[in-house]
């Protein structure tokens, strides 16, 4: 149980040992997905300071409005805008205030504990119907390796840190393995709804919402859908108030509409966005030796050995196992776009990767970019002899290395 909830937390926070860009959806985009699959949510509209905003607000009747700045960061309610306006979340029962609030948010940068110091530019604001929540529960569906399939996690203690609930009151956590190719049986749905302490007609409503969420989970190739809270209102509604969705990156080819919604303008480094477009994993660092490596473990080892030899890596760049020549060329473009890079170290072990492919990509990129920084290459594995001949016959001043330590030593020495 503890393992499952830690897995849920890890996916929710997108905390990974390997630096990888993941699909980012804004709150209103997640709600829109839920709505398309019939999941009950708060009614909402999206404003962007366009001429249509006035008409949108005019026709959106609510007793009370929640106005929320849309950025990929938490702590919005306590945030401050760079224009001095306080709070990225406001509640008002006065419709005439809605546009005024949004106009003070859109086009300005919201600064919270989770944003860069300069904040994040707000381009859109979500205006939602405020609801009176009487009870909060927790529901999560995620893929679990131990169960070899999807698992449902439920708790009547929602709206709080679910890991703390599991630690302090484990009896309030229920785990149910699910079949990937069948709907959830009605008896199971009702059992979970009652465990969540819904009563009367709300039991059936809750069961229906869970089934809809599972249908969504499978249809969009999600690896996790977390609803916290799954709330009951004073009108007996069962509503998914806050939803966090994670998707299987390998399903991008059949979930093109969803991945097209990816929010990239908030990325701190546009090189990460560009790398992701070419299936490369890139994270900038503070050093001056650019690294091009295949495999996350080898990349980490390469950075360590550079530091051991007195150098500083400028980046983490993993080209992966199925890399092609054009990706190698793009990797070199990204590396050389960093003005701090004064030398490049290529370290590739050719298992799945063909060393000759890497060598051809290196030569082509070096000529195209007219590379003018020292380049050290260490290749080992599939077709390594052919690769070494390609480098040798290229006419380029490429230093080759016999092993990783030799490569790191030469890369550091080249800068000195």
Binding-site residues sit at 42, 75-77, 131, 228, 242, 294, 351-353
Is 37 labeled as catalytic in the residue annotation? no
CA distance 161 to 133: 18
Peptide bond into 229 cis (omega under 30): yes
H or E segment at 348? Answer: strand 343-350
DSSP line for 351-400:
SSS-HHHHHHHHHHHHHHHT--S-EEEEEEETTHHHHHHHHHTT-S-EEE
Name the DSSP letter for residue 86. Answer: B
* Helix, strand, coil shares, percent, the chain, to 5: 40, 25, 35
Q: Which of the following is catalytic: 138, 209, 272, 282?
A: 138
Residue with tokens 């092609």: 324
**Using H for helix, E for strand and C for coil, what is the string for 22-45?**
CCCCCHHHHHHHHHHCCCCCCCEE
**Known binding-site residue numbers for Mg(2+):** 228, 242
Residue list for the binding site for substrate: 294, 351-353
Residue 292 phi, psi (nearest 5): -125, 115
Q: Which two tokens stand for residue 63?
A: 């007793």
Which is catalytic among the residues 27, 136, 209, 226? 226
**Burial class, 206, CB count within 10 angstroms (exposed 0-12 / middle 13-18 / buried 19+):** buried
In 193-306, at which residue ranges do the beta strands (DSSP E only) sit? Answer: 222-233, 238-240, 243-247, 281-284, 289-293
Q: For residues 122 and 73, what is the distance between their CA atoms, to the nearest angstrom?
A: 11
Confirm whether 214 is a catalytic residue.
Answer: no
- b/e per residue, 220-240, with b = 16+ CB within 10 A? bbbbbbbbbbbbbbeeebbbb
Give the tokens for residue 141: 């569906």
Residue whose entry in the numeric block shows the structure tokens 């979500």: 126
Residues designated as active site: 138, 226
């Amino acid at each position: 149980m503890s393992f499952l909830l830690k897995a849920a937390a890890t996916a929710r926070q997108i905390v990974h040992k390997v630096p990888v860009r993941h699909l980012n959806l804004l709150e209103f985009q997640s709600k829109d997905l839920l709505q398309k699959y019939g999941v009950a949510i708060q009614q909402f509209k999206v404003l962007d300071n366009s001429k249509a905003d006035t008409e949108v607000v005019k026709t959106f009747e609510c007793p009370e409005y929640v106005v929320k700045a849309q950025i990929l960061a938490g702590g919005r309610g306590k945030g401050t805008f760079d224009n001095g306006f306080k709070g990225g979340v406001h509640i008002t029962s006065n419709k005439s205030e809605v546009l005024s609030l949004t106009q003070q948010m859109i086009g300005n940068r919201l600064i919270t504990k989770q944003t860069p110091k300069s904040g994040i530019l707000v381009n859109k604001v979500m205006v939602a119907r405020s609801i009176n929540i009487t009870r909060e529960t927790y529901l999560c569906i995620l893929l679990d390796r131990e169960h070899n399939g999807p698992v449902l996690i439920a708790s009547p203690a929602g709206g709080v840190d679910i890991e703390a609930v599991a630690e302090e009151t484990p009896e309030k956590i229920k785990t149910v393995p699910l079949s990937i190719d069948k709907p959830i049986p009605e008896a199971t749905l009702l059992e979970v709804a009652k465990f969540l302490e819904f009563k009367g007609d709300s039991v059936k409503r809750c069961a229906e919402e869970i089934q809809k969420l599972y249908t969504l989970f499978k249809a969009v190739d999600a690896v996790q859908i977390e609803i916290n809270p799954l709330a009951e209102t004073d009108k007996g509604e069962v509503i998914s108030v806050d939803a966090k969705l994670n998707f299987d990156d390998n399903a991008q080819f059949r979930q093109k509409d969803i991945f097209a919604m990816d929010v990239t303008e908030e990325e701190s480094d546009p090189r990460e966005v560009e790398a992701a477009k070419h299936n490369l994993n890139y994270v900038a660092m503070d050093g001056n030796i650019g690294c091009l490596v295949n495999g996350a473990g080898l990349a980490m080892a390469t950075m360590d050995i550079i530091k051991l030899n007195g150098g500083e890596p400028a980046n983490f760049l993993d080209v992966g196992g199925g890399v092609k020549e054009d990706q190698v060329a793009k990797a070199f473009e990204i590396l050389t776009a960093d003005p701090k890079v004064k030398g490049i170290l290529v370290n590739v072990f050719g298992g799945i990767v063909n060393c000759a492919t890497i060598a051809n990509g290196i030569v082509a990129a070096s000529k195209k970019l007219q590379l003018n920084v020292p380049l050290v290459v260490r290749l080992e594995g599939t077709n390594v002899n052919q690769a070494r001949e390609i480098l040798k016959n290229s006419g380029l001043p490429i230093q080759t290395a016999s092993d990783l330590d030799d490569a790191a030593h030469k890369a550091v020495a080249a800068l000195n």
